[in-house]
Amino acid sequence: MSRGAAEGVLRPAAMGDVRGIHALLQKYADQGLLLGRSLSSLYDHLRDYMVFSVEGESGPEIVGVCSLHICWEDLAEIRSLAVDEPWQGRGIGASLVSACIDEAARLGIGRVFTLTYQPEFFRKFGFIEADKNDLPHKVWSDCVNCPKFPDCNEIAMICYTGGRRVDMVASGGA
């Protein structure tokens, strides 16, 4: 566990976090800003998730989440990045993305991509725009369930880590 930019804890997700993760992701899925995840999917892929939690009135509260989903031998996706509105602008999103990139590097994954509406945020980490058609077809398995498919307007971005840590170039973040 490590302290993040705001008063809270950045850590791998645990079973007790699933409903909080689901609620946070659903909030943004309802706005069409990200693809929602079912409770079943969250339980199936719990090890993919990092959370940022703070102490709330009734215990730990999930205020940020991000997932590193391994797609192939040398390719992973950063997805389901969400920070609750009152907590945005405190570096929580940047901490979550950095943790996912670190995990990819630790695993020896040299390429990390994302599909995003916020390309400027990801450029701070060394991501560059990529052609969606250059991504393997396996990547699109989630897209079929998206209400925007096949007319997605998210921007594909990729970061070539070479399996090493990529530092954030600029300060600030989500």
Name 142's Cβ contacts closer than 8 Å, sequence gap at least 6. Answer: 35, 79
The segment with the largest mean pLDDT, out of 94-98, 130-134, 150-154, 165-169, is: 94-98
Instruction: Region of 80 please: left (phi>0), alpha (psi -120 to 50) or beta.
Output: left
Distance CA 60, CA 62 (A): 7
Q: Which of 41-45, 50-54, 69-73 has the lowest mean pLDDT?
A: 69-73
Q: Is residue 54 part of a domain?
A: yes
Share of the chain residues as helix, strand and coil, in percent rounded to the nearest 5: 35, 30, 35
CA distance 142 to 144: 5
**Residue 172 located in a structural domain:** no
Pairwise CA distance, residues 65 & 81, whole Å: 6
Residue 173 belongs to a domain:
no
Domain coverage including residue 48: 2-160
Is residue 128 assigned to a domain? yes
Q: For residue range 124-142, list pLDDT tens digits in order.
A: 999 999 887 777 655 555 5
Mean residue pLDDT across the chain: 84
Residue 170 domain flag: no
CATH number at residue 16: 3.40.630.30
Q: Identify the CA nearest to 7 among candidates 74, 53, 61.
A: 53
What's the pTM value of the predicted model, to 2 decimals? Answer: 0.82
Indicate whether 22 pLDDT > 90: yes
pLDDT score of 78: 96
The two structure tokens encoding residue 13: 């997700």
Q: Which residues are CB-contacts of 50 (< 8 A; sequence separation ≥ 6)? A: 10, 11, 12, 13, 65, 66, 67, 68, 96, 99, 100, 103
Q: Residue 88: phi, psi to the nearest 5?
A: -70, 155
Eight-class DSSP state of 110: -
In the sheet that 9-12 helps form, which strands lie side by side, from edge to edge? 2-3, 9-12, 49-56, 59-72, 75-83, 111-116, 155-160, 128-129
- Share of residues in the chain with pLDDT > 90 (%): 62
108 within domain boundaries: yes
Total structural domains in the chain? 1
Q: Map residue 35 onto helix, strand or coil.
A: coil
